């Protein structure tokens, strides 16, 4: 279900922990599985985690499926719902709001024609509001697909970023 490359990456996670504590690698393994789904999925449904993938990861780590499932549903960066090719998460918490975070989210929403929480009809973008990313000094801040942080996102910087993704 996962590529040899993903499995090798999971093995590297497993190696970080004591031999009898493979469960510790579940967070990394789910992240690796999600990245593969995002990169290979062709529709929003194929880009998120589902019970089959979660069960596969659990079996690979020899832990009960529910142990992996409860992790996938507890931490909010694991996409459990259909998601666009580019998931844009804008921080709108207080420190960011004071430096344009709320305005940035509104600008992107208008520009993409989707409300916060929605995915565009072509399946390309999902727009979300996020909680603190630990980068308040760079506000407005947004994340693209969980792993790429973009700082100082003024309207001009947003225009540039969206053009790049397009």
Binding residues for [2Fe-2S] cluster: 91, 96, 132, 136
How many residues of this chain bind other proteins (CB under 8 A)? 48
CA dihedral (44, 7, 31, 78) in degrees, to 10, reads: 40
Write down the least CB distance from residue 96 to other proteins, Å: 8
Helix axes 26-40, 65-74, angle to 10 degrees: 70
Asked whether position 30 contacts other proteins by CB under 8 A, the answer is yes
For other proteins, give the closer residue by CB, 11 or 131: 131
Asked whether position 116 contacts other proteins by CB under 8 A, the answer is no
For other proteins, give the closer residue by CB, 106 or 113: 106
For other proteins, give the closer residue by CB, 22 or 44: 22
Among 42, 52, 62, 134, indicate the residue that binds other proteins (CB under 8 A).
134
- Residue ranges of alpha helices (H) inside the chain are 4-14, 26-40, 51-61, 65-74, 94-97, 101-112, 155-165
Asked whether position 25 contacts other proteins by CB under 8 A, the answer is yes
Residue with tokens 């449904």: 45
Asked whether position 93 contacts other proteins by CB under 8 A, the answer is yes
Sheet harboring 142-144: ordered strands across?
125-130, 86-91, 142-144, 148-150
Asked whether position 81 contacts other proteins by CB under 8 A, the answer is no
DSSP 23-65: GGGHHHHHHHHHHHHHHH-SSGGGGS--HHHHHHHHHHHTS-H
Mode of pairing for the β-strands spanning 86-91 and 142-144: antiparallel
Among 75, 110, 154, 160, indicate the residue that binds other proteins (CB under 8 A).
75
User: What whole-number distance in Å separates Cα of residue 114 and Cα of residue 106?
Assistant: 10
Asked whether position 33 contacts other proteins by CB under 8 A, the answer is no
Residues found near other proteins in the complex (CB under 8 A): 16-18, 21, 23-28, 30-31, 63, 67, 70-71, 74-78, 92-103, 130-139, 143, 146-149
């Amino acid at each position: 279900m996962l590529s040899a490359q993903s499995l090798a990456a999971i093995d590297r996670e497993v190696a970080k922990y004591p031999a009898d504590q493979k469960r510790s690698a579940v967070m990394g393994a789910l992240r690796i599985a999600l990245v593969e789904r995002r990169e290979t999925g062709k529709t929003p449904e194929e880009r998120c985690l589902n019970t089959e993938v979660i069960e596969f990861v659990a079996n690979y780590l020899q832990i009960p499926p529910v142990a992996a499932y409860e992790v996938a549903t507890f931490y909010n960066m694991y996409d459990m719902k259909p998601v666009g090719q580019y998931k844009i998460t804008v921080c709108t918490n207080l420190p960011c709001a004071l430096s344009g975070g709320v305005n940035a989210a509104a600008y992107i929403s208008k520009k993409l024609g989707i409300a916060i929480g929605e995915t565009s009809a072509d399946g390309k973008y999902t727009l979300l509001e996020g909680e603190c990313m630990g980068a308040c000094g760079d506000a407005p801040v947004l994340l693209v697909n969980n792993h790429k942080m973009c700082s100082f996102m003024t309207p001009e910087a947003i225009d540039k970023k969206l053009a790049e993704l397009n």
